[in-house]
Amino acid sequence: MKTALQEFIDNVIPMHIIELDMIKQEIKKALEKEKEQIMNAAKSCNYIGGATDIEAENYYNQTYNL
């Protein structure tokens, strides 16, 4: 599985004509995937016994939405 940033690079670098709206769209997709990856990691973490969906969302919001 690729990280959100790896997918962003794969999608933006090949563009011959780079338009700002296209870049914004790719950034939004990458950020959503990154959030999903972080929440999935929190849910599967053995150290804290795995978080519920709500706990994972709260963790993401508290940690990354400063």
Q: Is residue 47 part of a domain?
A: yes
Q: Is residue 32 part of a domain?
A: yes
Across the range 40-59, mean pLDDT stands at: 79
Across the range 34-57, mean pLDDT stands at: 80
Q: Is residue 50 part of a domain?
A: yes
Domain count, the chain: 1
- pLDDT at residue 47 in the model: 59
pLDDT-derived band at 46 (thresholds 50, 70, 90) equals: low
Q: Is residue 35 part of a domain?
A: yes
Angle between helices 4-12 and 20-44 (to 10 degrees): 160
Q: Is residue 40 part of a domain?
A: yes
Q: Is residue 13 part of a domain?
A: no
Helix (H) or strand (E) holding 19: none
pTM of the model: 0.66
Across the range 36-42, mean pLDDT stands at: 87
User: What are the structure tokens assigned to 53, written together?
Assistant: 């969906």
**45 is in which domain, residue-wise?**
4-8+19-64
Contact 60, 38 (CB under 8 A): yes
